[in-house]
Chains A and B, each alone.
Chain A
Amino acid sequence: MPWGEFKDTAAERRLFQRRVTVMLALVFFLLSVLVARMYQLQIVEHDIYTTLSDKNRVQVQSVPPPRGLVYDRNQVLLAENRPVFSVTVVPERVGEIDAALEQLVGILDISDEDLERFQRRLREPRRPFQEIPLRYDLNEDEIARLAVHRHELPGVEVEAELVRYYPHSELTAHALGFVGRINRDELQRIDPVNYAGTNYIGKSGVERFYEELLHGRVGYQHVETNARGRTLRVLERENPVPGEDLKLHLDLRLQARAHELLDGRRGAIVAIEPATGGILALASVPGFDANKFVTGISVPDYRELSESNDKPLFNRALRGQYPPGSTLKPMLAIAALDSGAVTRDHTIWDPGHFQINSSGRRWRDWKRGGHGWVDLTYAMAQSCDVYFYEAAVEMGVDTMVNYLARFGFGEDATLDVSGALSGILPSPDWKRATRNEPWYPGDTVNLGIGQGFMLSTPLQLATATALIANRGEWVEPRLLKDIQGDRSVEEFLPSETHEPLKLKDPSDWEFIAETMAEVMHGVKGTARAAGRGAPYRMAGKTGTAQVFSLAEDEEYDAEEVRERLRDHALFVGFAPVKKPQIAVAVIVENGGGGSSTAAPVARALFDAWILEFSAAAGSLVSKTDSQREAP
């Protein structure tokens, strides 16, 4: 032996054999442990892990329904769904995330805001291989550029989502409203099941009011997915029920015309079809691009809109509350006639001012020297204030308020116009409650010409005017004309609540309509310039609302007052006088006089509807032509 020491080989062999026996026992024991463990997992707990495995594999996905489309009355698309592309990143599949982001920033226009949001989502706990959105709303150019670099960017994907798009956004933003991402408050009140796959919800206007109808019902599919969430096959599917397509009374052409007429100014136009109550045009100028709000408006864009002096986000047509001024006179005239405060032939002497008692405050007429002898027709045509001061005092506040309430003032009388305000119909109770002051006789006088505390929205004025056009038949204003599917409009349109306004002498309606026609066509009519040369007869009333009140004997000079402090120009009217097809209310903020600024706008709108756009446009012209020969 080379080792130089004595070795007891037999003893060493026996020692080794003993040790091997021990090891063999250990091997056997440990293998038994493994077998026992496998038995526990595979036999004893088999059911638990089968469930876990299926839960891994099979996922219930919600299939969001496509949102219903919105059309105008002529089937012009106002709101559609457009695929919007966003770029998402799967961090597990991207090698160096920072390098990939850097490269993406070079290819796409990615803001710091986007990056910040991405980094935040990256740090949050999530499933492996779940994608994180990096930027929404890529344009075609960016998608193309990304496609070129696609092979260098594993784990970077472009995903499509259907998102609301308003092709005539500026025109329809205030009438239609818009959708936006569901916020925390909305999350509380929506049905989490039905909205499981939905990211957007109606925020205002039609989109908000008919949210349920437009949204549709969510569908489901059981899918087999791999660990990266990629769907491999659909095991079972329940299709979503798409949202209903809606048709509105709105006429986009008239809406566009209304915007043109107010272009460069601030104001609102509401046009109603008297027979149906359908809102033909609902314009608030300036408008804004609602598409910006859908995917989330940027902070500077929002600041620009919200801080603009012109308040483009403010819906003047529904929420602008103005003193109605003289545009309230037709309704007051109805009240005065029906309550017996005046008769058709009742005549007064207008010295240019009015006093309740001989020593009291003088209420001035807009015409300094007064109108002289004035009857109701003349008072309407010339918008004589003193006549209405006297009539107001004769009626008293309660009578006036009762009648005005029947015209829809002081309430939101609309059926489906989301966000419409009710204005203020002042009464002694109201004044006591809100100002803790008694109602003074002077308040009654002010109300007689639509000034003082009274406030109304353009929509309310149009509604009241439509009531006159309808000779007292109430048709609440509404936007929804038709539902394209099987559902009926009645199912979703709230029911009508207003009783018709029946006068003791129904021919008073005709009389007042004629006095309003006198405004447009009479020799002395305040809007005769606007009514001149029309192939049909129209009825109207001009109005001017003071932005700030003048002292008793202060002279008003438009030149000296800054533009923003000038009076609001107002106009209400309908046409044709017989069988009216359209009733409008126009307000031009700081436009000066109603006759000079607002009346021509209304005339242009009448012409547009009656001569160009309405279904009966052609036939009517010939009819009025034959009528014209009669007088």
Chain B
Amino acid sequence: MAPREVFSSTASNPLGRPRGLWSALHLDPILLFLLIVLISCGFFVLYSGADRNLDVVKAQGVRFAVAFVVMLVFAQLDPSVFRRWAPWLYVLGLAGLVAVLFVGVGAKGAQRWLALPGLPRFQPSELMKLVVPIMAAWYLSRHFLPPKLSRIGVGLAIVLLPMLLIVRQPDLGTSLLVGMAGLFVVFFAGMSWKLIGAFLAMVSVAAPVMWFFGMREYQKQRVLTLLDPQSDPLGAGWNIIQSKTAIGSGGLDGKGWLQGTQSHLEFLPESHTDFIVAVLAEEFGFVGILILLSVYFLIILRCLFIAVTAQDSFSRLVAGALTMTFFIYVFVNVGMVSGLLPVVGVPLPLVSYGGTSTVTLMAAFGILMSIHTHRRMITA
């Protein structure tokens, strides 16, 4: 098939299926290599962004070790396991989200964490980034595709319900990411372009309604500040002005590793978490940004290839949606740091310092590897 060959990077192996050791481990060497390249580069930027604090880098290392184990475990499971468990995981996730609203813990006016006795603290909303696309894919792939209108409606409801619960926490950023993950499933399932057009029209009508009734004051402030950061240069606009200054002053080839004045003199806020790409831009310049975006692009290409070569609709939908969610992370984060999008608290995937999202992302890659390595030799 022509498209398969377009995406194939292992010409000697028509199915792109890994052999030998990789096959036994259920890992995709190409994706693994790209991830390791990204994560290794991330450590260097993190060391600088955290102002040479080796403890931060070590903590991140431990976190990635855990995340790798999670990825490895997910890769071992057959995609059908995810499919069978989808409804139960979804119900469990919803229960978790409801529980967070009542007994959750958190800071800055938002309850996001669930501290259950005997379990490590975790965010149910983070789990939903995986569960929602799996659930939607499970539901839609049970019937022939493209789905009928009523099924699309149910599919959208599956996505919307956890979204609303997450917005209540409130956590707009995660809610949007969960929603996007679900919507990508519906899109890949074959929702007709007419419907997509109608849906987009609906969103554009709903946006002003959200503005006046659905958004909290701090969220409105973020949007307003995005539109005109100079209006509040010492307050909310500070972050954007400083990150743009960091990026812009980097120039073509940057100030050099550990030489970024904006981050090391503490002008750049959140320099090792959400705004870490500004550190990279300042110290490695436009060249560094091009390399970073290229690595992300290669990862996405490989993942889309995995999706296309998947053997059943469920796997395809899950792989496609998870890949696009990963891309959305990249786009929203780089967009917000460079002042294109409002500051919504989305980390740069696999580079920003932070726990939960790293584990979730690696779990997603685990699922992708599982999909890729559990294909049967004989096509259905």
Instruction: List residues of chain A with CB under 8 Å of any chain B CB.
Output: 3, 5-9, 12-13, 15-17, 19-21, 23-24, 27-28, 30-31, 33-35, 37-39, 41-43, 45-46, 48-50, 52-53, 56-57, 125-128, 224-228, 232
Contact = CB atoms under 8 A, between A and B. Distances in A.
B246 A53 contact: yes
Given A37-B338, A43-B251, 13 more contacts: A6-B144, A7-B144, A16-B320, A24-B304, A28-B297, A30-B327, A35-B289, A35-B293, A38-B247, A42-B251, A49-B249, A125-B235, A224-B261
B324 to A, nearest CB: 6
A66 B327 CA distance: 61
Interface stretch (B163-171, B262-270, B361-369): B262-270
B14 to A, nearest CB: 16
B375 to A, nearest CB: 13
B188 A57 contact: no
Nearest to A34: B334
A527 B265 CA distance: 78
A30 B331 contact: yes
Looking at chain A's contact residues, is the secondary structure mostly helix, strand, loop, or mixed?
Answer: helix
Given A27-B327, A33-B340, A127-B234, A57 B261 contact: yes
A42 B267 contact: no
Contact of B281 (A42, A225, A228): A42
Given A38-B281, A224-B265, A232-B265, A23 B320 contact: yes
B265 A42 contact: no
B143 A3 contact: yes
Given A19-B187, A41-B338, A42-B251, A227 B266 contact: yes
B245 A53 contact: yes
Interface string B224-257: 0000000000110010011011111111100000
A377 B130 CA distance: 119
26 contacts: A5-B143, A7-B144, A9-B313, A16-B188, A17-B3, A19-B190, A20-B304, A20-B308, A20-B320, A24-B301, A27-B324, A33-B335, A33-B340, A37-B335, A41-B281, A42-B250, A43-B251, A45-B248, A49-B244, A52-B245, A52-B249, A53-B248, A53-B262, A56-B261, A56-B262, A126-B234
A322 to B, nearest CB: 59
Contacts, number: 153
B380 interface: yes
B144 A8 contact: yes
A128 B265 contact: no
Contacts of B238: 128
Nearest to B248: A49
Q: Sort A-B residue pairs by CB-CB distance and give the 5 closest, nearest first.
A: A49-B248, A53-B249, A226-B265, A227-B266, A42-B286
Give the one of A9, A21, A127 with max B CB within 10 A. Answer: A9
A53 B289 contact: no
Nearest to B260: A53
B143 A46 contact: no
A34 B252 contact: no
Interface residues of B, number: 57
Given A41-B244, A49-B249, A19 B340 contact: no
B265 A52 contact: no
Interface in B165-218: 184, 187-188, 190
B285 interface: yes
A35 B291 CA distance: 11
Contacts of B312: 9
Contact of A17 (B247, B266, B285, B308): B308
Contacts of B285: 42
Contacts of B244: 41, 49
Nearest to A15: B190
Contact of B248 (A28, A50, A228): A50
A38 B286 contact: yes
B146 interface: yes
B144 A5 contact: yes
A125 B231 CA distance: 12
B256 to A, nearest CB: 14
Contacts of A33: 335, 340
B39 interface: no
B92 interface: no
B378 to A, nearest CB: 13
Nearest to B142: A3
Contacts of A38: 247, 281, 286, 289, 334, 338
